[in-house]
Amino acid sequence: MADNRLLMRALRGETTPVPPVWLMRQAGRYLPEYRATRAKAGSFLDLCYNPELATEVTLQPIRRFGFDAAILFADILLVPQALGLELRFAEGEGPRLSTVTSAADFARLKPASAIHETLGPVYETVRLLRAELPAEVPLIGFAGAPWTVATYMIAGHGTPDQAPARTLLYRDPETFDALIDRITDATIAYLLAQVAAGAEVIKLFDSWAGALPGPHFHRYAIEPAMRIASALRAEHPDLPIIGFPRGAGAGYAAFAAHAGVQAIAIDTSVDPAWAAATLQPRLCVQGNLDPLLMVLGGYPLTEGARRIVEAFAGGPHIFNLGHGITPDASPANVETLLRAIRG
Ligand SMILES: Cc1c2[nH]c(c1CCC(=O)O)Cc1[nH]c(c(CCC(=O)O)c1C)Cc1[nH]c(c(CCC(=O)O)c1C)Cc1[nH]c(c(C)c1CCC(=O)O)C2
């Protein structure tokens, strides 16, 4: 029998009467119960590697709001850590990693097959979630896309324009390519293990796709996504994959046409009318409310949500934000949003 859960229907290409809705970073610091569990766990990474508490924070927004999907609680930077880099999250400053900026650094990375030694607790979280989630709520697994993961491995922290990664791409293309390929292999192994543990949908976060120079977009955003999607679907032909080449601009059309994903998540800058006309005839579109409206609330929020629902009403759509919900957002505004979408 066909899976009739709203999210799965939209991902199969059905136009649903109301769109399924979930929010990027729906488990996060805007929720008091998240902050309490996080304090109990210790550091953010302690939380990621604690299957019971990671399960708890994944379930919190499902219990409170009844979203149409849960997303595994973890981080895209666990993969570089599993490849041998040191990782910590400095409070209020974001991630800090040891770096890969030369062939010698690259040679010290572990092989892709070694990642499971570190990532076992994440697979355990997926298994616990499948046991504890209500059957009507699909579980989304995820990973960072190779380019975005590489930007952090090369710079050692977040940067506004990914200049360190672009520099390595130009200066030492051999090492850069080898790094992209290693991350791609590790990502395939990681996502296959998530699916084996019970993830039902996969999302690939290419949060910094917009920083890739245009001539390199195909090689470093589309090709790795193609490789990952085809490796996953070779083993799981019905597995839906959501691609998120954030900031890709004109690159969204090529990504949607060639990456082999079943849905494309669009960022806040994309005009819904353009996406409905250009992307939605081919695949499901996810997005793209401005996360700022979750801080603001009121009429701008309900009107913004209504316009997005209307723009995408003619095809398969998953309602989401254009990027993650921020720590200063108010939980009450999530209630307002859900009423605006579901009536
Ligand atoms: C670039 C990126 C990262 N992580 C992720 C991305 C891609 C998506 C995006 O563009 O936001 C993905 C991610 N990170 C997190 C999830 C969990 C699932 C969810 O609820 O969406 C997911 C899917 C939890 C998290 N990841 C992080 C938090 C906050 C940590 C805390 O509790 O202190 C959460 C809930 C930390 C994180 N993790 C990362 C950064 C740069 C930071 C620091 C910035 C910040 O503090 O918000 C790397």
Per-residue pLDDT of 228-242, as tens digits, reads 999 999 999 999 999
Active site residue 64: no
Average pLDDT (167-178) is 98
Average pLDDT (3-15) is 97
Active site residue 38: yes
> Which atom belonging to ligand 1 lies closest to the Cα atom of 28?
35
Predicted confidence band at 104 (pLDDT cuts at 50, 70, 90)?
Answer: very high
Residue type, 60: Q
> Which atom belonging to ligand 1 lies closest to the Cα atom of 26?
20
Q: Does domain 6-342 have CATH number 3.40.50.1360?
A: no
Cβ of 196: how many Cβ atoms within 10 Å?
A: 13
Catalytic residue selected from 30, 34, 49, 152:
152
Distance (Å) from CA 15 to ligand 1 centroid: 30
Catalytic residue selected from 9, 25, 166, 182:
25
Average pLDDT (5-28) is 98
Distance (Å) from CA 126 to ligand 1 centroid: 18
**From the centroid of its chain, how far is CA 49?**
18
Residue type, 230: S
Average pLDDT (124-141) is 98
Is the pTM higher than 0.95? The answer reads yes
- Answer for the pair 223, 212: CB distance below 8 angstroms, yes or no: no
- Whether 144 shows a pLDDT value over 90: the answer reads yes
Q: Is 30 exposed, middle or buried (0-12, 13-18, 19+ CB in 10 A)?
A: buried
Residue type, 248: A
CA gap 333, 343 in Å, rounded = 15
pLDDT of residue 29: 97
Write down the mean pLDDT value for the chain: 97
Predicted confidence band at 91 (pLDDT cuts at 50, 70, 90)?
Answer: confident
Cis peptide leading into residue 288 (ω within 30°): yes
pLDDT of residue 241: 98
Percent of the chain exceeding pLDDT 90 equals 98
- Answer for the pair 27, 47: CB distance below 8 angstroms, yes or no: no
pLDDT digit string (tens) for 42-53? 999 999 999 999
Cβ of 228: how many Cβ atoms within 10 Å?
A: 28
* Ligand 1-lining residues (CB < 6 angstroms): 24-29, 38, 44, 71, 73, 75-77, 94-95, 142, 144, 158, 205, 207, 324
Structure tokens at 230: 């085809």
Distance (Å) from CA 4 to ligand 1 centroid: 30
- Whether 243 shows a pLDDT value over 80: the answer reads yes
Active site residue 152: yes
Average pLDDT (136-159) is 98
Q: Is 123 exposed, middle or buried (0-12, 13-18, 19+ CB in 10 A)?
A: buried
Predicted confidence band at 2 (pLDDT cuts at 50, 70, 90)?
Answer: confident
Active site residue 29: yes
Active site residue 127: no
Tokens 């990671």 appear where?
54
Contacts of 28 (CB under 8 A, 6+ apart): 34, 324, 325, 327
CA gap 62, 48 in Å, rounded = 18
Could you state, in order of their start, the residue ranges of all structural domains in the chain? 6-342
pLDDT digit string (tens) for 34-79? 999 999 999 999 999 999 999 999 999 999 999 999 999 999 999 9
- Whether 93 shows a pLDDT value over 90: the answer reads no
96 forms bridges with which residues in the sheet? 88
Closest CA to 29 of 18, 37, 21: 37
In eight-state DSSP terms, residue 111 is P
